[in-house]
Amino acid sequence: MLSIARGELIQIFRNRLVLVTALLLPVAFSAFLINRHELFAEIGSLGYIAALALFFVLGIGLYTTTVTTLASRRQNLFLKRLRSTAAGDAGILTGLLAPITAITAVQIAVILGVLAGVTGRPADPLLLVAAVVSTVVMMLALGLATAGLTNSPEHAQVTTLPVSVGVVAVAGWVGATGTEDLTLLKRLLPGGSATELVLNAWNGGVALTDSLILLAPTLAWVIVAIALASRLFRWEPRR
Percent pLDDT > 90 in the chain is 56
Q: How many CB atoms lie within 10 A of CB 212?
A: 13
CA distance 49 to 67: 26
Please tell me which residue, 94 or 41, carries the higher pLDDT value: 94
In this prediction, residue 165 carries a pLDDT of 94
CA distance 111 to 214: 23
Residue 211 lies in a domain: yes
CA 63 to chain centre: 5
In this prediction, residue 116 carries a pLDDT of 93
In this prediction, residue 195 carries a pLDDT of 95
The SS3 of residue 124 is: coil
Residue 35 lies in a domain: yes
Question: Whole-prediction pTM value?
Answer: 0.93
CA torsion through residues 44, 161, 143, 166, sign: positive
Q: How many domains does the chain have?
A: 1
Provide the residue count of the chain.
Answer: 239
Confidence tier at 120 by pLDDT (50, 70, 90): confident
Q: How many CB atoms lie within 10 A of CB 100?
A: 25
The 10s digit of each residue's pLDDT in 174-205 is 999 988 889 999 999 999 999 999 999 999 88
Is a pLDDT exceeding 80 seen at residue 17? no
Q: What does the pLDDT average to over 203-209? A: 86
Q: What does the pLDDT average to over 119-124? A: 91
In this prediction, residue 239 carries a pLDDT of 61
The 10s digit of each residue's pLDDT in 134-165 is 999 999 999 999 998 998 888 988 999 999 99
Q: How far apart are the first and last CA of the chain?
A: 28
Q: Among 126, 136, 97, which residue's Cα sits nearest to residue 225?
A: 136
Specify whether the CB–CB gap between 120 and 46 falls below 8 A: yes
Give the domain range for residue 87. 2-232
Residue 239 lies in a domain: no
The 10s digit of each residue's pLDDT in 22-62 is 788 888 888 888 888 888 888 888 899 999 999 999 999 99
Specify whether the CB–CB gap between 94 and 102 falls below 8 A: no
The 10s digit of each residue's pLDDT in 222-236 is 999 999 999 998 888
Tell me the pLDDT of the chain averaged across its residues: 90
CA distance 217 to 137: 13
Q: Among 161, 168, 191, 165, which residue's Cα sits nearest to residue 179?
A: 191
In this prediction, residue 27 carries a pLDDT of 86
The 10s digit of each residue's pLDDT in 58-83 is 999 999 999 999 999 999 888 888 88
